[in-house]
């Protein structure tokens, strides 16, 4: 049974620092990590790179990343840059 080890609410003003904070916790994670993006309406290229790095790091540790509350516009960006398949999405 998968265990959700980290639950972090992402603030639109602090997307990159929050992802770095979550990445530091990945060593102690087994199963899944959930990140709440419900407060984020837009992401810039720096945030996209941070998400890509976070996904790469999580995959290398065998951790599934679940993004909660992702807006349609953010989902479209993730799909466009081919990152969407690396995440699970829940509302």
Per cent of the chain over pLDDT 90 is 69
Q: What is the mean pLDDT of residues 26-34?
A: 86
Rounded to the nearest integer, the mean pLDDT of the chain is 89
Cβ atoms of 10 and 47 closer than 8 Å: no
> 4-90 — its CATH code?
3.30.750.24
> Is 78 a residue whose pLDDT tops 80?
yes
Residue 12 confidence (pLDDT): 79
> Is 4 a residue whose pLDDT tops 70?
no
Report helix, strand and coil shares of the chain as percent, to nearest 5: 50, 20, 30
Task: Please report which confidence band the pLDDT of residue 1 belongs to, taking 50, 70 and 90 as the band edges.
Answer: very low
Q: Could you give the CA distance from residue 44 to residue 6 in angstroms, rounded to a whole number?
A: 24
List the domain boundaries for the chain: 4-90
Q: Reduced to 3 states, what is the DSSP secondary structure of residue 65?
A: strand
């Amino acid at each position: 049974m998968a265990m959700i080890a980290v639950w972090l609410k992402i603030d639109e003003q602090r997307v990159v620092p929050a992802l770095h904070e979550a990445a530091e916790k990945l060593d102690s994670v087994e199963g899944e990590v959930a990140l709440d993006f419900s407060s984020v309406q837009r992401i810039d290229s720096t945030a996209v790179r941070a998400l890509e790095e976070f996904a790469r790091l999580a995959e290398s540790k065998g951790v599934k990343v679940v993004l909660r509350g992702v807006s349609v516009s953010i989902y479209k960006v993730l799909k466009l840059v081919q990152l969407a398949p690396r995440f699970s999405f829940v509302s």
